[in-house]
Amino acid sequence: MADLRAPKGMNDVLPDEIGRWHLVEKAFRETMHLHGFREVRTPYLESTALFSSAIGEGTDVVEKEMYSFAHHKESLTLRPEGTAGAARAYVEHKVHNQEPVSKWYYLGPMFRGERPAKGRYRQFSQLGAEVFGDPGPAIDAEVIDLLYGFIGRLGIPGAEVLINSIGSEEARAAYRAALVSYLTPLKEKLSEDSQRRLEKNPLRILDSKAPADIECVQDAPGLDVHLTAEDRKHFDDLKRSLDALGTPYRVEPRLVRGLDYYSRTLFEIKAAKELLGAGDTVAGGGRYDRMVEAMGGPKVPAFGFGAGLERLLIASSAQAETSVVDAFVAPLGDGDGVRLAALRLAKSLRAAGVRTEADLRGGGAKSLLRRATTLGAAHAIIIGDRELESGLYALKDLAAHAQREATPEDIVRDLALLRTEKGSS
Ligand code: HAM
């Protein structure tokens, strides 16, 4: 068979690594539930048109990164992000008729055909949230604060919140025109990518990483002079709300983000550069007040974020529990009686909530105990003919290097009690 490797930029997560994923996913769910969010699951595939119209034809995501294919004359795309699908579901199910405000969260894989690098993959996972029906800006601040707190809880050093306002549609149109007239005489100096962007998506030139572009935009006009009085008030109120919540932030006038649907609030959270290099943005989001209406729904404002799970994992110092089971049960040798006794004991332990590995291959005591230690079991019960006859099994406490004899019923009761104590501590 040819090359049997995972596709470039797509990674396996093996069982040894999954503990940290579970830790972050659990912490995320707990945080979201604490704030009244509920989970939504939308398809991994959506119509290509959904993404190209919601995210914007001129964006890198739509222009170069989508995995699209034709199926029965329909063009489908693997979701590059979660917002467009969530908004589509919100409109399709007329959720606005059911409640004034909907707070949704999601977690799962996204797909973008980018050049792979540290923290940048072609299949990656996002933890995301969307709030429909609240015009903000207090909710914007509350969600930014929630995310900042969550990132702190993961033990990520140097997290910094950057905010900006990109204004309403009219402000952006005016700014776009001003930027194009400023950059057009400098066109030759811009990077190749940005020369193209000048026509399609000039705002993106502002956050280009190419040195030539950085030089060209250094003295470019700012967007703030174009903000309407209402945009300005929205942004000032956002800052006051963040201050009230005690969330530190920095205003970054050049922050534009790579997706076209935003209006007013934009934000990103970066982690320490030495941890993630160029991909130091662990989360980003903002307000997108036009999307629901553009999809055929009513005028419903919205705000949300997406956080890169792999990037959070790289930056986080959180460690997962490595123990696979609490108890290890095995017959000594390959006799029928001891094997059935081990099977029965393992079943009773599990029924009492004790995570149990039954190793039924029938080995010697030494190698069985080695395996019990590798699996991180706190206790081992190895049943030989003598134990079977007396009805008293040897219960080994592997950490304390101690051993005592007990009936199967007592073993189940004692280990179940220990498990409950551990679970509640
Ligand atoms: P985004 O900034 O494109 O926003 O992605 C959010 C986060 O996903 C990024 O900050 C990054 O941590 C992670 N990410 C993006 N691309 C990759 C990649 N190729 N490899 C690894 N991680 C990646 C959105 O997707 C918006 N939907 C966020 C949002 C929700 N805005 C409003 N609501």
User: Do the Cβ atoms of 168 and 231 come closer than 8 Å?
Assistant: yes
pLDDT along the chain (425 residues), means of 10: 89 96 97 98 98 92 95 96 98 98 98 95 98 97 98 92 93 88 90 86 84 88 88 97 98 88 95 81 97 97 98 92 94 93 98 97 92 97 95 96 96 94 73
Report the separation in Å between the CA atom of 64 and the middle of ligand 1, taken as the mean of its atom positions: 16
Beta strands in 217-313 (DSSP E): 250-251, 265-270, 281-287, 302-308
Q: Ligand 1: which of 103, 126, 288 to mutate, judged by most atoms within 8 Å of the beta carbon?
A: 126
What are the tokens at 85?
A: 């699908």
Q: Ligand 1: which of 281, 288, 300 to mutate, judged by most atoms within 8 Å of the beta carbon?
A: 281
Residues 393, 288: Cα–Cα separation, whole Å: 64
Residues 281, 267: Cα–Cα separation, whole Å: 10
Q: Is 285 in the pocket of ligand 1 (CB under 6 A)?
A: yes
Give the nearest ligand 1 atom to 81 CA.
Answer: 25
The number of CA neighbours under 13 Å toward the Cβ of 247 is 30
Residues 354, 406: Cα–Cα separation, whole Å: 17
Q: Ligand 1: which of 256, 259, 313 to mutate, judged by most atoms within 8 Å of the beta carbon?
A: 259
What does residue 372 show for φ and ψ, rounded to 5 degrees?
-60, -40
Return the amino acid letter for 110.
Answer: M
Report the separation in Å between the CA atom of 88 and the middle of ligand 1, taken as the mean of its atom positions: 18
pLDDT of residue 207: 79
pLDDT of residue 424: 64
Secondary structure (3-state) at 93: coil
User: Do the Cβ atoms of 107 and 28 come closer than 8 Å?
Assistant: yes
pLDDT of residue 58: 83
The position carrying tokens 């209006």 is 263
SS3 content of the chain, % helix, strand, coil (to 5): 45, 20, 35
Q: Is 283 in the pocket of ligand 1 (CB under 6 A)?
A: yes
User: Do the Cβ atoms of 282 and 311 come closer than 8 Å?
Assistant: yes
- Helices assigned H by DSSP within 6-154: 15-34, 48-55, 60, 83-92, 138-153
Report the separation in Å between the CA atom of 7 and the middle of ligand 1, taken as the mean of its atom positions: 21
> 359, 366, 364: which is closest to 342 by C-alpha?
359
Give the nearest ligand 1 atom to 304 CA.
Answer: 33
Q: Is 308 in the pocket of ligand 1 (CB under 6 A)?
A: yes
* Interior/surface letters 245-265, b for 16+ CB within 10 angstroms, e for the rest: eebebeebebbbbbbbbbbbb
User: Do the Cβ atoms of 46 and 85 come closer than 8 Å?
Assistant: yes
Residues 329, 382: Cα–Cα separation, whole Å: 6
| Strand (E) or helix (H) holding 366 | helix 365-374
pLDDT of residue 196: 85
Identify the residue whose C-alpha is closest to ligand 1 atom 6: 306
Q: Is 114 in the pocket of ligand 1 (CB under 6 A)?
A: yes
Q: Is 56 in the pocket of ligand 1 (CB under 6 A)?
A: no
Q: Is the pTM of this model over 0.75?
A: yes
Residues 216, 381: Cα–Cα separation, whole Å: 72
